[in-house]
Structure 1
Amino acid sequence: MNTSPTIVVLAAGHGTRLQPGRPRLEQPLAGSTVLGTTVANALQTGLRVLVVTTERLVPLLLPQLTLQDLHVLAEDSARRGRGQAIAAGVGDSPQSPGWLVLPGDMPLVRPETMLAVAQAIALHAVACAQHGGRRGHPVAFAAELYSELASLQTDEGARRLLARYPAVGVPVDDAGVLVDVDTDADLDSLRLPQRRVAGG
């Protein structure tokens, strides 16, 4: 019997604020890609990692995961937003005692942060990482919310769920819980420390 939550990585959306032809999840970062780095950090927790994605990203993910660890959405379903993707990931792991939802464009979230948030749902229905008084990702849900999570259809549905079950903040020393890659500037800021190291 599985006693550890599942990390559901959301990688089915479309980065509309990057320059045309530059899908954000596929951009090079830290010797991998934005998505590959996020997944690698999740795998370091030892928890099961399930990526909700589209057919186009499957080749990028297979070096790290098996097909059993991927839930591939049709493009029309992927366009419906995170609510649909969360429902797909939760529905694909119904025996899990909980789920950590982590956007695929958050490559700086540390494995120890994910584990801290995962532990919180032993006592709370919903928990999230919190840094400097600000709440970020991952957001974790206990198994008792399975039916509501698996029936989500829209982002608005996800927001209503969080309104009914306010998340308990888990303080972490990890600014990465607040950092996602939405724009070219975001991506460049993540690469800047790497360039500094390479340049001495």
Structure 2
Amino acid sequence: MPGILLIAAGKGERYRAAGGKGEKLMAPLSAHHGRPLFSVVLETAIASQLPIHIVTRPDNIPIIQLAADNGIAVTLLNSQSMGESIAAGVKATDDWDGWLIQPADMPEITVRDYHRIVQALQHSSQARLYWQEQPGHPVGFSQQWRDALCQLCNEEGAKNVINHSLLRLNGHPGVVIDRDFPEE
């Protein structure tokens, strides 16, 4: 079965440069009753009932603690890029049939979004949600892409591995919304 690879290893530099305080993934979201961003994302991933693995930085204690509290495995990595984070997560979950790559700063992703990607991977080796021609997340890869994903090392993440002619699914605005900046 494919699983969700939550990428939470960024440094939050854009967030802090825009005036954000503290750890971006622990910032409260007003639309979610002030709950921390990562808590909202993790809760949705857990509700999907798919396997979950988190890639985060060794100093990101709140994320590590939330993972431990929920019995979720973590790869600790002083990541220099999205690609490096994805590669580490894929290597750590070698027994999965596929991966749903999900940045951990996207709280509008739904359980249905995860399930649509899993279903699509039954018929295609890749699947991706789009909103109005904008590529979104999660992005799904079958096991056949394992070696290519394990070679990633740049900030472009899996962009060089994505075959845009493979399955594209219509999504909703939330599949393209991340939280790189503090709420106003």
Amino acid at match of 2:169: V
Is the counterpart of residue 180 in structure 1 residue 183 in structure 2? no
Q: Of residues 3, 13, 16 in structure 2, which corresponds to 1:16?
A: 13
Q: Does 1:62 align with 2:67?
A: yes
2:53 aligned counterpart, secondary structure: strand
Structure 2 residue runs without a partner (length 5+): none
Q: CA RMSD in A?
A: 1.8
Shift of 1:84: 0.4
Match of 1:169 in 2: 168
SS where residue 160 of structure 2 aligns?
helix
Aligned to 1:102: 102
Query: Any residues of structure 2 matched to 1:30-179 within 5 Å, and which?
Result: 30=32, 31-60=34-63, 61-62=66-67, 64-66=69-71, 69-73=73-77, 75=78, 78=79, 80-156=80-156, 158-162=158-162, 165-166=163-164, 167-172=166-171, 174-179=172-177
Q: TM-score, normalized by length of structure 2?
A: 0.86
Secondary structure in structure 2 of the residue aligned to 1:154: coil
Deviations 1:110-129 (A, max 9, x none): 11111101211111121111
Question: Residue 81 and residue 44 in structure 1: after superposition, are their counterparts in 2 closer, same or farther (change >3 A)?
Answer: same
In the alignment, structure 1 segments of 5+ residues that lack a partner are 189-200
* Structure 2 letter corresponding to 1:85: S
Question: Offset of 1:63 from its aligned partner?
Answer: 5.7
Deviates more, 1:123-132 or 1:143-152: 123-132
For residue 177 of structure 1, what is the amino acid of its counterpart? V
Distance in 2 separating the partners of 1:43 and 1:33: 16
Whichever structure has more helix as a proportion of its residues is 1
Contact 1:15 1:23 (C-alpha < 8 Å) held by counterparts: yes
TM-score, length-normalised on structure 1? 0.80
* Larger Rg over CA atoms: 1
Number of equivalent positions: 175
The aligned residue for residue 191 of structure 1 is none
Name whichever of 96-105 and 48-57 sits farther off: 48-57
With over 3 angstroms needed to count, the CA separation of the structure-2 counterparts of 1:104 and 1:156, relative to structure 1, is: closer
Identical amino acids, percent of aligned pairs: 27
Contact (CA 8 Å) 1:40, 1:64: kept in 2 or not? no
Equivalent residues of 1:26, 1:35 under 8 A apart? yes
